[in-house]
Amino acid sequence: MEEPTTFERHVYKNASVYHYMKISLDLENGKRSFSDAQFKQLIISALKELYGEVGAAFPFDLLKFDPSSLKAILRVYNKGLVKLWSALTLLGSYQNEACAFRVIQVSPFLLALSGNSRELQFGESLTS
């Protein structure tokens, strides 16, 4: 007789110390070439404008950057999430050109950023 499998229930409350953000940069006059360093510098300048030198010093990482679509994945500590998000929102211009950051997805798990239900594309057979 096989023993019944015992269930263990795990509840994680804020298991991750990080939050991951998927963002994209919209520029007024279409696309232009950005290097990853320039992109991070732009975010740091936004932080510095809103939160000063203290705010510009807090740690965050640019994990992935796609120069063609100007989309990036950021990793921040939970503590700095609100600061980073607000700084991104309030950034208005890059080199006298209007621009805006769009926050696409935010999640404590990196895996969750792999799929986005809002951008779900149905196959030809389903839509036609």
Partner 1 sequence: MVRFKSRYLLCEVCVPERNSLQLLDERAIHHTLRAAVNRAHGDYGSALFNIGVNVKYLNALTGVVFIRCRKAHYRLIWSALPFITHLEDRGQTQNVQCFFNCIHVGGTIKTSQKFLAQYNRQQLHRMLLDCNTDAEKQHVRRALLSCSVGNVKREEADDEEGSDDDDE
Residues forming contacts to partner 1 in the complex (CB under 8 A) are 48-55
Burial-class residue 99 by CB neighbours within 10 Å (0-12, 13-18, 19+): middle
- State the minimum distance, in angstroms, from the CB of residue 57 to partner 1: 10
- State the minimum distance, in angstroms, from the CB of residue 36 to partner 1: 24
DSSP 13: S
- State the minimum distance, in angstroms, from the CB of residue 50 to partner 1: 5
Contacts 24+ apart (CB under 8 A), 12-16: 14/78, 14/108, 15/108, 16/78, 16/108, 16/109
Classified as helix, coil or strand, 23 is strand
Nearer CB in complex with partner 1: 22/80: 80
Nearer CB in complex with partner 1: 55/80: 55
